[in-house]
Amino acid sequence: MRAAALILLAVASASAAPVVTGFERFHAAAPTAEGGRLLYNELGCVNCHGGDTGLPAQRGPALATVSQRAQGEWLRKFIADPQSVHPGAVMPQVLTKADERTLVAIEHYLASLGPRTKVKPADIRHVNASRGSGLYHSLGCVACHAPDKAFVPDGGAPKDSEFTHASVPFPDLRAKYSLESLSAFLQDPLKVRPDGRMPRIAMENQDAIDIAGHLLAFEGSDGRVGPWVTPATVDRELAITGRKAVIAARCAACHELPKDAAATPVALGRKEGGCLDSAHAKGPRYALTDAQRSSLKLFLAARDKAADPKLAADLTLQALNCVACHERDGKGGPDGARKAFFEGDHNLGDTGRYPPPLTGVGGKLRPEWLAKVLDGENRVRPYLRTRMPVYGKATDGLARLLGVADARPALKFEGGDDSAGRKLLGTEGGAGCITCHRWGDRPSLGIQGPDISNMAARLQEGWLRDYLINPAGYRPGTLMPSFWPGGKSFNPAILGGDTDRQIAAIFKFAESANGEPEGFPKNRNGEFEIVPKDRPVVQRAFMEDVGVRAILVGFPTGVHLAYDGEKGGPARAWKGRFFDAYLTWFSRFPIFEKPLGAQVVNWPKSSGRFLGYRLDSKGNPTFIAEQAGVRVEETFEGVGEGLRRTVVWKPTPDFAPVIHHPAGLEFAENPGSAAGRRVFTYLWK
């Protein structure tokens, strides 16, 4: 199934048009100069014809290592006609004469650029393609590339109609790569594509191997590794011929090549014909769509006009396909189909799954923070399964550009009472921000929203104020309520209810890094220990190895019982301290409790039907259960160093209750025990 999908991609089109997803998604429907500007940059026009698009340079992949990366046969086919083995590739057909001898010569020339000594690739012992498929479909790869039809995300398979924009196409990966060379590429694409059009997602070596195994259609978990890429042994004569062909084709305009293969710029004299003409014989041939051609013409008519910062920023985000994951100004973000592949923390709703919108991001984040986000350093949403990639030098200056494009009126909080901020952030009279937000390494009290301890370093003041007044206006779908709805504070008692002063105080407290908001529990475990003093204490809870209907009874005598309300019988007992009820009583996320004491003993599972319990005047419980339709009552009492168990039923000749005893404990049946009333004493020595 996986192999079939890949083959389908490979044969999609013999003379396909180049695919620039940002163009196809946002500009193809109605040609504009803006769309043309994007294409002029992304198709590499600018690399021969010059000009300043305002966009990060689009460069071809490194050729010095291509012979180690791509199979020779594939490479020759690609050079002869890129669309034949990589439909949708942006590289034009550049050779006018693509005879086999020229292609072999180019192959030798390219091999001559590589390292002199042969590097034996690292030995890959194992590849797990099904794991790789899971990673491919969750780390963010499918935001740009097509998901595999055989992979069904948790929410169900997307419908074809929900794919509303083109995927970035793959070449025939099995013809091009070895497992080793593809996994090396995946682990750091920027080494090969420093222009960042294929960004780097942080991953382990084994992750890259497994993803490559998936893409190359290996079996689920496979010890086989497939053919290596073996570069041609360089023939010097051929290499020289190859270099001439490379110079003639002006490869160096887009690719990094030695000085002796440099390409000279080509003046742009006309706004028609040339590369724009699909039938022209000279120079690179692009199989442009009508929309692409019209857009390029519109752009060329006004090529000298520089892009304003807003346009440059928007087009940069489209060129790098940031908008595959992020919405900006109501456009972009994953389409209906791709949304299914975004996973995260269910408790945070949509904001726990999808990357944040970039609308106004340059006015939201401080530029120095944003630069570190782009560098891969600052990450505040650990719950997103997709990983924000790194684009290398393509994003140099992007933080600054966004800052200019999205600038909002500057606001600087004056003063700011940081002790009020501590209160406002906390749960003791404040807005309770820490109910949902982490604070540094302190988990929040409820759902685990983003860390807000860094807000002063991260956020611009004006944005913070406007956001807190209307969160949903900035993050549609957020679970965050406004505590200053319409600018009116929820709490008139703090700082006179002045919204600006309250928000300034929050900001200042975070900036001061002077402690944490009010309301975080100290280590609460231990503070809610139940200590039975005068009477037995009964508390129902989830308990480990007992189950979800555990009825815990603590006795002042120091031996305690867990009765199983599911199976209708005693389940475990222990000596010493009873248990701590903090998680059962006060956590939103209860867990299975453990006894605090020692010498824990367990009864074999009972098989009665539990009917309830009653408490006598001293607080001792009598549990009622049915065994084979007969009502059996058993009372537990604390005695010195132990428990007394009295089992009572209405005796009949054909019934005796099953009475289990815990392993590893001394017990004795009391004198006077008889049918209808048996008494046992369990002692902890």
Partner 1 sequence: MKAVAIALLSAAALGAAPSYDIADILTASTAADTRAKDWKPGQGLALEVSGMDWTADGRLALCIRKGEVWLLDGVLAPRPDKVGFKLFASGLHEPLGLLRDGKDLLVTQRTETTRLRDTDGDGVADEYLTAGAGWNVSGAYHGYAYGPKRDGRGDLWVTLNVDMGDHSDNKAPWRGWGGIIGKDGRFVPMAAGMRSPCGLGTNREGDMFCVDQQGTWIPTTPIYHLRKGAFFLNPEGIASEKLPDSPLRLSAKIPEKRPYPEAVRALPEMRPPAVWMPYNKMGRSGTDLVTCDAGGKFGPFDGQMFVAEFTDAKISRVFMEKVGGEYQGACFPFVGGFASGIVRLTFAPDGSLMVGMTSRGWSSLGTKAYGLQRLRYNGNVPFAIKEMRARPDGFELVFTKPVDRARAADVASYRMSSYTLLYSGAYGSDEILTAPNPVTSAVVAADGLSVRLKVGALRELHIHELHADGVKSEAGEPLDHADAYYTLNRIPQN
Q: Tell me which residues touch partner 1 (CB under 8 A).
A: 155-156, 159, 162, 336, 339, 346-347, 349-350, 426-432, 435-436, 445-447, 472, 476-477, 479-481, 483, 485, 490-491, 519, 521-522, 527-528, 530, 537-542, 548-549, 551, 565-566, 581, 584-586, 588-592, 610-617, 624
Nearer to partner 1, 158 or 392 (CB): 158
Nearer to partner 1, 530 or 601 (CB): 530
Write out the two tokens for 428: 């003791």
Query: Is residue 541 a contact partner of residue 552, using CB atoms and an 8 Å limit?
Result: yes
Closest distance to partner 1 from the beta carbon of 420 (Å): 14
Query: Is residue 200 a contact partner of residue 392, using CB atoms and an 8 Å limit?
Result: yes
- Coil, helix or strand for 561? strand
Closest distance to partner 1 from the beta carbon of 36 (Å): 33
Q: How far apart are CA 21 and CA 25, in angstroms?
A: 6
Nearer to partner 1, 56 or 352 (CB): 352
Q: How far apart are CA 555 and CA 619, in angstroms?
A: 9
Burial class (CB in 10 A: 0-12, 13-18, 19+), 212: buried
Q: Give backbone dihedrals phi and psi of 677, rounded to 5 degrees, phi first.
A: -160, 100
Closest distance to partner 1 from the beta carbon of 429 (Å): 5
Closest distance to partner 1 from the beta carbon of 487 (Å): 15
Closest distance to partner 1 from the beta carbon of 151 (Å): 17
Closest distance to partner 1 from the beta carbon of 413 (Å): 23
Query: Is residue 170 a contact partner of residue 6, using CB atoms and an 8 Å limit?
Result: yes
Q: Using DSSP bridges, classify how beta strands 677-683 and 642-649 pair: parallel, antiparallel or unpaired.
A: antiparallel
Nearer to partner 1, 175 or 538 (CB): 538
CA geometry: angle 172, 174, 177, nearest 5 deg: 100
Nearer to partner 1, 213 or 430 (CB): 430
Q: How far apart are CA 581 and CA 594, in angstroms?
A: 10
Query: Is residue 597 a contact partner of residue 560, using CB atoms and an 8 Å limit?
Result: yes
End-to-end Cα, the chain, rounded Å = 65
Nearer to partner 1, 153 or 309 (CB): 153
Q: How far apart are CA 9 and CA 492, in angstroms?
A: 62
Nearer to partner 1, 287 or 479 (CB): 479
Q: How far apart are CA 90 and CA 419, in angstroms?
A: 58
Closest distance to partner 1 from the beta carbon of 522 (Å): 5
Closest distance to partner 1 from the beta carbon of 588 (Å): 3
Nearer to partner 1, 225 or 340 (CB): 340
CA geometry: angle 398, 322, 171, nearest 5 deg: 120
Which residue type occupies 517? P
